[in-house]
Amino acid sequence: KIFMNTLKYLQSNEFLLDVDLWKLFANLEELNKISLSFLKSFFETVKEHVSKSDSPMDFSSILRTFFQGDLCQTHQIYCLNYTSAVFYLEKLRQREDFGIYLKQWCEQNEQCKRLRLPELLVAPLHRLTRYPLLLNNIWKRSTDETEKGLIQSLKEKVEKSIWDLEGKVKWLDNFQKFRQLQEVIIWPQVWDRDKRFFVPEYLKQSLRENSSENILSSANRLLLHEGRLTLAESTRLLDVYLFLFNDFLLITKIKRNKKKYGGSDTSLIPVCPSLTPELQSFIREGGFCTVLDQPIPLDRLILKNIEPAHVT
């Protein structure tokens, strides 16, 4: 809340007006309100039991109110925005004015206990995963069979909510990753790949429109592995970067030029946190990958081992 309220204060004074509060914090205020209400009700029940030791500790009504209500749903909304928030924060941190807001206005506050914004943004995700543990502990200590049945059903509901969320988060994470790859993987025009190709001018426009970049827009495609290799050509060794998808292999050549096709600056692209550290670093340096040849379908790919003696 220190980071959120400070940003609101700065924006009310005409600073950082282009920073989107929702993209960073999503429904954090609503989540705080519901979580705090749940905790207050929870501890009120404990307090009442302690002051009147003869009264049974009835958690069922509180648990039903919150776990059949909005508690899990508000967590889900926040968690689904989390990947985008980290992605957006990475982009903002490159700015000097936003860096001053983070370091001087917020991180030095004693209440932050030296925690930075990325470490705080992840906290609600951890809390959601602890709710089944809380419900399980109450279930173990409950003596009423009806109450035990209710708590068990609520625990199963929360666990299902978490499983559903994990599937959605994975899909969103994959979407962000492929959106990033579309930015850094460059597909040269067919007539640029080999100077021996001749393409009449009247065909070039239609070939431009059938862009190969759409290959990476499939929602079902997965990136299984990626990394550097050395490609042995007839007269030289070439450093290449391979992307192994679940249906094809893509061989690209590493370029460290700051400018890519279209003139945009890749150093300003926010880096997806789920990419490998090497690729993240490479993108931050303004690098991009130019496709060397057409994708190789895995169902037509043959791998052969070469004896060490023959490698050179």
Query: Phi and psi at residue 112, in whole multiples of 5°?
Result: -75, -15
Which one of 152-166, 198-212, 215-229, 257-271 scores highest in mean pLDDT?
152-166
Q: How far apart are CA 176 and CA 180, in angstroms?
A: 6
Domain spans of the chain, in order of start:
1-178
Q: Please, what is the average pLDDT of the chain? A: 84
Alpha-carbon distance of 181 to 158, in angstroms, equals 34
Residue 36 reports pLDDT greater than 90: yes
Please report, to the nearest 10 degrees, the dihedral formed by the alpha carbons of residues 278, 283, 284, 286 taken in order. 130
3-state secondary structure the chain: CHHHHHHHHHHHCCCCCCCCHHHHHCCHHHHHHHHHHHHHHHHHHHHHHHHCCCCCCCCHHHHHHHHCCCHHHHHHHHHHHHHHHHHHHHHHCCCHHHHHHHHHHHHCCHHHCCCCHHHHHCHHHHHHHHHHHHHHHHHHHCCCHHHHHHHHHHHHHHHHHHHHHHHHHHHHHHHHHHHHHHHHEECCCHHHHCCCCCCCHHHHHHHHHCCHHHHHHCCCCCEEEEEEEEEECCCCEEEEEEEEECCEEEEEEEECCCECCCCCEHHHCCCCCCCCHHHHHHHHCCCEEEECCCCEEHHHCCCCCCCHHHHC
Beta carbons within 10 angstroms of residue 251's beta carbon: 18
Contact 226, 242 (CB under 8 A): yes
CA dist., res. 278 & res. 281, Å (int): 5
Residue range 270-284: mean pLDDT, rounded = 77
Backbone angles phi, psi at 301, to 5 degrees: -105, 130
Q: At what angle do helices 28-51 and 71-92 cross, to 10 degrees?
A: 140
Residue 131 · residue 165 · CB < 8 Å: no
Q: Are 7 and 19 in contact (CB under 8 A)?
A: yes
pLDDT for res 242? 94
Answer whether residue 167 shows pLDDT above 90: no
19-28, 102-111, 260-269: range with lowest mean pLDDT: 260-269
Architecture of domain 1-178: Up-down Bundle (1.20)
Q: What is the pTM of this model?
A: 0.67
- The predicted structure's pLDDT at residue 263: 43
Is residue 76 scored above 80 in pLDDT? yes
Q: What is residue 260's predicted lDDT score, i.e. its pLDDT?
A: 44
pLDDT in tens, 192-207: 766 777 888 878 777 7
Q: Poorest-confidence range of 26-30, 97-101, 112-116, 255-259?
A: 255-259
pLDDT exceeds 80 at position 221: yes
Q: Answer for the pair 31, 75: CB distance below 8 angstroms, yes or no.
A: yes
